A and B are shown apart, each in its own frame.
With several copies, the nearest count.
Chain A
């Protein structure tokens, strides 16, 4: 999970920062494992957000100081968390009632692939011999009101992750509304991908070349206003 060398576009922290700007005050939010976990640190001051984790907590906060971890106070990524005032515990059926019932406003997830029709693949490459594991991914994307994706624009090997159609097994069809990639902010519209904001230092041609589907630039295309953020600790 360390930063790639000589990367083009936004850093992982900058992607998380940009996604955080979209979370309104009072939102109930579920953050996926990986880059999405960084979002909480960048929600603008003055906005209060309640975080949900599948394993039965609403209203958790940062990791505790070393030595104060509790193995029964963890998030879905099995990392230790703390409680904020107003937190609540509940069992798994109630936790997924929150998800499936449309009570969570936003989930922010990583993805292997996102298609121009909003399909998402983030649980399996479909490779032979792999141990299939889905966790709560399918419930989240099927149930949460706004499904947002944070992802590098391409794979480590430079393959596009934004495609005309997903080639990996779907997590759900037609659910993603917005992608925060290292190259910018891309909306999924009825007409396909729409580039709303572009990362500093990235050209439209570079975006198009790294995207395996048509991608239009918005008429009011802006540059992502991400601040310079110190590189987060590896594996944060």
Chain B
């Protein structure tokens, strides 16, 4: 019998290796799988390449992972924000590498990784410094940049409901990078608010079919990053 549900966060992350590429969902705190990120801190893997839209806030979640010096390289579109202190400090000291990618190109590269497309052309960034060193090419009189797919060893994603097959629904704009990151990772680990029985999710309303998901762990009351930050929390 197929059963992708796992008992708890440590069981979901026991085998992460040093040097892994980790796709982490979320747009700021929205959709951020904060319990899984904390689980990854506990698990201890190092020298990670993390692909995520931002670099975390305060001293919890992704910022805490970076602060714990587990991340060698960030691939993201927007590495600073009002509550983001950890990444900028390490970056200025030269202790973390940054690959800056326009947000839509980041999303498309991840989707391409999941869809077996090794490279594609996009108008985004053509004629800018972010296209430097990349192949540019004209189609029908317009310039485009060739971008390569991104794949991850691991994806950490937050969703709403999941079943034993790994079928997922999401919650509002928390969906953001979740579905495409599940597609693009060798092992997609998803924290859901509710594990439901097989058949409970309407096949019409499944957002991410279970084929893209490897492990589902229930976290009924995920923490809100902004609340933790307001409380001055840090992890661990």
Contacts and interface: CB of A to CB of B under 8 A. Distances in A.
Contacts of B210: 50, 58, 86, 88
Contacts, number: 208
A73 B170 CA distance: 12
Given A25-B1, A26-B2, A98-B211, 12 more contacts: A28-B211, A72-B31, A72-B174, A76-B27, A86-B2, A89-B172, A91-B107, A93-B180, A134-B78, A142-B123, A143-B104, A170-B129
A190 interface: no
A85 B206 CA distance: 12
A85 B110 contact: no
B211 A96 contact: no
* Category for how many chain A residues contact B: 35 or more
A97 B209 CA distance: 12
Interface in A176-190: none
Interface of A: 25-26, 28, 48, 50, 52-59, 70-74, 76, 78, 83, 85-104, 129, 131-139, 142-143, 169-173
A57 B164 CA distance: 17
Interface string B168-211: 00111111111110010000000000000111010110110111
A156 to B, nearest CB: 19
Taking residues whose C-beta sits less than 8 angstroms from the other chain, chain B's interface range is 35 or more
A104 B114 CA distance: 12
Interface in B99-134: 100-105, 107-108, 110-111, 113-117, 122-130
Contact of A134 (B81, B102, B175): B102
A70 B172 contact: yes
B204 to A, nearest CB: 6
A81 B225 CA distance: 18
A74 to B, nearest CB: 6
Contacts of B114: 97, 101, 103
